[in-house]
Structure 1
Amino acid sequence: MGRWGITLPLTGVPVLHHKDLVAELSDLGYTDIWSAETAGSDAFTPLALAAQWSDKVRLGTAIVPVYTRGPALLAMSAATAAEVSGGRFVLGIGSSSPAIVNRWNAADFTEPFKRTRDTLRFLKAALAGEKVTEEYDTFAVKGFRLERAPEQRVPIMLAALRPNMLRLAAKEADGAITNWLGVNDVPKVRAELGTAELAARIFVCPTEDVDSARALGRLLISTYLTVPAYAAFHDWLGRGEALAPMHEAWAAGDRKAANKLVPDEVVDDLVVHGSVAQCRERVAQYRANGVDTPIIALLPTGADQFELVRALAPGA
């Protein structure tokens, strides 16, 4: 049936409360658990726990910023995750955003493409057990070697939104992870990535209350798509004109107006909503259009989130 992923932890649910759900996931048809890292849980701890609760699902970070940990620490974290999961771990890395990197973690957000490329090259060497002494364009490492390199090769995937990063993912990594993507956008992304694995986080809001779903979608879109990298991504995808009024209001400091100016058709493209059955069918369309690993990001509706995860399983 192909891959079918879920983003954990669920919104507002403590990490340790996921144990029983994680144990069920593979029987429900889920193949993957992917974490995220913004201002809630870190990316690695939930996956280390999930590795003990399920011995079948693949575990991935989507994504870990390349600025907020030193290169050696990132390699150590990845090696540990690979060890505790028995080789089921995929390391997803990316540049993240100026807010997370600079404003929240006091790091310089400079040359994101080069920093991601350099981190990828370092990690490939370090996780292979090599001793690394290298002057990269954006940092230098002298004499680092993992004390215990992973027994199996750790796949590395890149957060990629536009052609340069997608091509880097295709050439030097094991695939790409993308975000805020419409079903009909997939072929354009796939054309740049080629045959490498494409994972996509898909925001799913299982409710037939269209107004509520769109209201939540507009809030998220006006927050995320005003980040420069996402703005450029949607310019490339062809939504520049539709989103121009939102960007103008946001730049003027009018957040409420920016929210209201997100067109319904953009929300409907980027946020899956409707009945559970309709949502499940729409996620499957992403896979049919070229996404290898759809990763559901469940948006809160007030319903029991655990039951929604079960209902959104591919075999439900």
Structure 2
Amino acid sequence: MAWGITVPLDGIPLAEHPALYRELADVGYTDLWSAESNGADAFTPLALAAAEPRLRLGTAIVSSFTRGPAVIAQSAAALASAAPGRFTLGIGASSNVIAAKWNDIAFEAPYSRTRDLVAFLRTAFTGARIKEHYDSFAVDGFRLGLVPEPAPKILVAALRERMLRLGARDADGVILNWVSPRDVRRVAAIVREENPAAEIVTRIMVCPSQDADAVRAMVRPLVTGYLTVPVYRAYQTWLGHGAALADMWEAWDAGDRKAAVAAVPAEVVDAVCVHGSPAECRERIAEYVQGGVTTPVLALLPIGPDPREALRSLAPSS
């Protein structure tokens, strides 16, 4: 079974990650998936693992807004060539915060931008010259000079139904975030209806700690930081969690950040964050797989034991 981990790991310098990656492969991890927000970029941590043949590499995700289409194709082709057959490109719209507030790029028509980028990348990876006016951007005369063989798979970070169907239909599958095992069952049904063979990668916050109060105290600010962003707020409403998050949203909209954090119910934290003993964590992650996830990707939270110790305790071989 696939068993991934989100990289890079907090508290461990990037220079030490190659040795860590070998250790992760030794204890049964199969995948490394990079996250890109305000820390490392999506490609560099994976490039450090290209020489480890036991690990698949994936981006979760590269924003479809913050790089030009040609630059995304070049970066993906380089990594796919460094790790032939082991790299998967995860792309997605990201959010207005990252695109507009942090990068001064208009966050417009995210569905169209992501759809058009998938179409462009499919063609670019063949080495064809592209002169095309898509709905959301135009490319005039680009040809990829380093053509990867094989071409990397493309996954789409998807929230609601249109993007889920796009990822299943036009790409090779989807990447999910901020979901519970019950949410996954609903989402997987939509994806499988569109394409039974589609991959479903899911990032899962995990903390092998039995101090539930400490875990909840750490996760509540993360919930408010993410689930108040408009795209995630709409997503959680679509999933049916509007009532549970209503008090948090009301406090946030009123400008009371402290009250918003305090208003996050324990059941919301427990739904989106796996915690408990390592054995309990592995059992809960298995629920995601039973719900339709093909590749669970653990996002280790910085609490409790040393990250290396925590990863060993959560490994499939444990």
**TM class by shorter-chain length?**
over 0.9
Report the CA distance between 1:59 and its aligned residue: 0.1
Structure 1 distance, partners of 2:244, 2:164, is 24
Q: Retained in 1: the 8 A contact 2:173–2:199?
A: yes
Task: Kindly provide the amino acid, as one letter, of the partner of residue 244 in structure 2.
Answer: A
Structure 1 distance, partners of 2:287, 2:306, is 25
Match of 1:140 in 2: 138
Match of 1:17 in 2: 16
Match of 1:92 in 2: 90
Structure 1 distance, partners of 2:9, 2:16, is 10
Task: Kindly provide the amino acid, as one letter, of the partner of residue 300 in structure 1.
Answer: P
| TM-score calculated relative to the size of structure 1 | 0.97
Structure 2 distance, partners of 1:13, 1:137, is 42
Match of 1:79 in 2: 77
1:50 partnered with 2:49: yes
Match of 1:170 in 2: 168
User: Unaligned 5+ residue runs, structure 2?
Assistant: none
Deviation string, structure 1 residues 22-49 (Cα, Å, up to 9, x no partner): 0122231111000010010000011011
Structure 2 distance, partners of 1:64, 1:165, is 15
SS at match of 1:203: strand
Task: Kindly provide the amino acid, as one letter, of the partner of residue 123 in structure 1.
Answer: L
Which of 105, 117, 127 aligns to 2:103? It is 105
Match of 1:156 in 2: 154
Structure 2 distance, partners of 1:127, 1:19, is 28
Match of 1:66 in 2: 64
| TM-score calculated relative to the size of structure 2 | 0.97
Report the CA distance between 1:214 and its aligned residue: 0.7
Report the CA distance between 1:217 and its aligned residue: 1.5
Identity among equivalent positions (%) equals 55
Match of 1:8 in 2: 7
Report the CA distance between 1:228 and its aligned residue: 1.2
Match of 1:28 in 2: 27
User: Unaligned 5+ residue runs, structure 1?
Assistant: none
Report the CA distance between 1:216 and its aligned residue: 1.1
Task: Kindly provide the amino acid, as one letter, of the partner of residue 4 in structure 2.
Answer: G
Task: Kindly provide the amino acid, as one letter, of the partner of residue 163 in structure 1.
Answer: E
Which of 113, 116, 136 aligns to 1:115? It is 113
Report the CA distance between 1:315 and its aligned residue: 2.0
Match of 2:244 in 1: 242
Aligned residues between the structures: 314
Deviation string, structure 1 residues 174-233 (Cα, Å, up to 9, x no partner): 000010010111110001111211000000011111110111111111111111111111
Task: Kindly provide the amino acid, as one letter, of the partner of residue 121 in structure 1.
Answer: A
Structure 2 distance, partners of 1:201, 1:262, is 20
Q: Which runs of 4+ in 1 moved over 3 A?
A: none
Report the CA distance between 1:237 and its aligned residue: 1.1
Report the CA distance between 1:129 and its aligned residue: 1.3
SS at match of 2:50: helix
Match of 1:182 in 2: 180
